[in-house]
Structure 1
Amino acid sequence: MFMADLWSIGELAERAGVTVKTVRFYSDRGLLPEAARSTGGHRRYGPGALDRLRLIRSLRALDLPVPEIDRVLRREDTDTGADALEDAVARQLKELGTQLAALRWREAALQLLRDCTAEERADRLRLIGAVATPPDTTALARYWRRVLPRGLSTRQIRWIVDAAVPQPPAEPRPAQVLAFARMHALATMPCPAGGSDAPPPADARDHRPAVLYDGLGEAYELAAPALRRGGAPQPGEALDCFVAAYAGAHGDRDTPLFRRRLVRRLATLAHPVMDRYWQLAGELADPATPTLGAAHDWLRAALTADPA
């Protein structure tokens, strides 16, 4: 290519509709290779630089960072060029989704603070300020791993944590922001001196917790349809499975006497912190997916109404 066929940095900038500073910026970062240098050391660009510059501007208009654009351009002329662009777009969409979630959460939090009394505002501000934006469920998951009894398998811990930790809504209402902040405060509050963390919805002192939690998981699934349609607690397969889980954990049998004892025992296991946790979780959960706490309370009510 003859030097006469090349463009100066000013000519390229004019053809692309950008400033000389913009062309120099991309050139200095290796995104816009020079075709040659003049005898005076000035940069010269070929016609292909105009297409490359337009592509860079299009990618920047999508807010792709310069390092991401560099990866796309390096693979543009290879078989993986389309994959590189697809990967970059996917990463940008994920990042944008995170930003939008943070903005929606912040908006709901501001509405919450706007629509409360002066007396409530300081406490709510403290609760909201302790939660990341967008909110993170790490503290809730850590809490559950701490209070679950020993002897559970990795599989059991995973399903319990997944079911017990509600995901923050994509478009939260102000009340849901407050519910999540209060739940976060419960999960991160220091353990009282000489005390212990709040117990999970089952008794951590059972002889065989692995047997108990497998049985409870099955019982909760069986009770879920009745909970979704608002059915009253009643005897049936779900309750039988619930009782069998406790009986199996103690090497006992499901008898009328065992059921009466279990009613009394479950009453002693009630814990205000855990009750509050499940109440707050219910405000965040999908109505089509009852919380473990709601299922446990439904089964306990069914047992209390008909212990025989």
Structure 2
Amino acid sequence: MSPDGMWSIGELAERAGVTVKTVRFYSDRGLLPEAARSAGGHRRYGPEAIDRLRLIRSLRSLGLPVTDIDRALDRQDALEDAIAGQLKELGSQLAALRWRQAALHLLRDGTAEERADRLRLIGAFLGGAVPPDTATLARFWRRVLPLRLPARQVSWIIEAAVPQPPADPTPTQVLAFARLHALATAPCPPGHDWRPPPPEHDGEYRPTVLYDGLGEAYQLAAPALRTGRAPHEGEALDCFVSAYAHAHGARDTPAFRRRLSLQLDRSAHPVMDRYWHLAAELATPLEPTLGAAHDWLRTALATDLRRLP
């Protein structure tokens, strides 16, 4: 250090173990203020510059952009925000790498015939987005649900029905998500509609009442599903039947239960059955799908009917 306690740009670079070009770059960006200028106009830096330069390099090595470092050096809250943003970005990158790894394992472990089919499915549903986007599945449900349902009902149904991509998927889950995407984007056969037809000659049918009641029934059935308990009579089944009865302006009677069981059997749809089968592969044991809850309640109804005279 010179007698005035200052370093030249070359001296600072040497002590910090960086190039003069690096020091000049950070100085020009305002990250490393110079303390003074020599008589010849050369930059001079005080002893605090080396600590600041090392801090800058540490933050850069962690991937923080120069623009974030500029704010973070002077404000603690800005540093915390920059760290949080970097952690979020790294989390997304790690999830993307895990999805790619699982997809590659899926391709590697398949036969030649399976590999061609899986490659087509993966290419269609990833589309450059890793982890995959769930917007396609949400649009599918907007096509499936009855028209003119309140936005609050559409929101909770979609939130519950659309599986979220796991952060660390297995190859089987990658395949399930790819097949869900293919199912959701398949064209509807001519002359058909995904939406269930409204009950004929039933002017009292209120789908809003039905879906409110079904949501409550599914929640009541969830504990039994989590513990693996067999379908049985009780509050969940009563709520399930009441949802249909109230939606149709009817009463919960043995005769109504018989009609409802027949109606549910006739309205079963292979596409929806396939959807819930695939969604179950992406669900956790603690979060049963709506499809699993619905099947549990249908079975509970059939079991209950066998007890009736």
Q: Please give the TM-score of this superposition, normalised by the length of structure 2.
A: 0.90
User: For the residues of structure 2 that align with 1:38 and 1:188, how far apart are their CA atoms?
Assistant: 69
Measure the CA separation in 2 of the matches of 1:56 and 1:104: 31
SS at match of 2:44: strand
Runs (4+) of structure 1 moved beyond 6 Å?
none
Partner of 2:157: 160
Q: Deviations over 1:16-67 (max 9, x none)?
A: 1111121122122221122333344432222222221111011112111111
* Equivalence for 1:113: 107
Matched to 1:278, the amino acid is W
1:282 offset after TM fit, Å? 0.5
Deviation sequence 1:132-191 (CA, Å, 0-9, x none) = 212222221222223211332222222111111111222211101100111112122233
Residue 3 (structure 1) shift: 9.3
Distance in 1 of aligned mates of 2:78 and 2:7: 29
Q: Which of 169, 180, 188 is the matching residue for 2:177? A: 180
SS at match of 2:285: coil
Alpha carbons of structure 1 residues 22 and 162: separation in structure 2 relative to 1, 3 Å = same
| TM-score (norm. length: structure 1) | 0.91
**Which whole-Å deviations, capped at 9, do the CAs of 1:254-273 have from their partners, x for residues lacking one?**
11221111112111211111
Matched residue, 1:274: 272
Moved more, 246-255 or 45-54: 45-54
Give the alignment partner of residue 151 of structure 1, picking from 144, 148, 153.
148
Kept in 2: contact 1:108–1:177 (CA 8 A): yes
What corresponds to 2:282 in structure 1? 284
Structure 1 residue 288: Cα displacement: 1.3
CA shift for structure 1 position 241: 0.8
Letter in 1 for 2:156: W
Secondary structure class of the residue paired with 1:5? coil
Gaps of 5+ in 1: none
Instruction: Kindly report which structure 2 residues correspond to 1:45-194, keeping only aligned pairs within 5 A, or say none.
Output: 45-73=45-73, 76=74, 81-130=75-124, 131=126, 132-194=129-191
1:205 lines up with 2:168 in the alignment: no
CA RMSD of aligned residues (A): 1.8
Q: Which moved more, 1:137-146 or 1:293-302?
A: 137-146
Secondary structure (helix, strand or coil) at the match of 2:251 reads: coil
Gaps of 5+ in 2: 200-204
CA contact (8 A) 1:148 1:204 kept: no
In 2 relative to 1, CA 188–38 (structure 1 residues): closer, same or farther, beyond 3 Å? farther
Task: Find the aligned partners of 2:178 and 2:3 in 1 and give their Cα distance.
Answer: 66
Aligned pairs, number: 297
Amino acid at match of 2:227: R
Shift of 1:204: 6.1
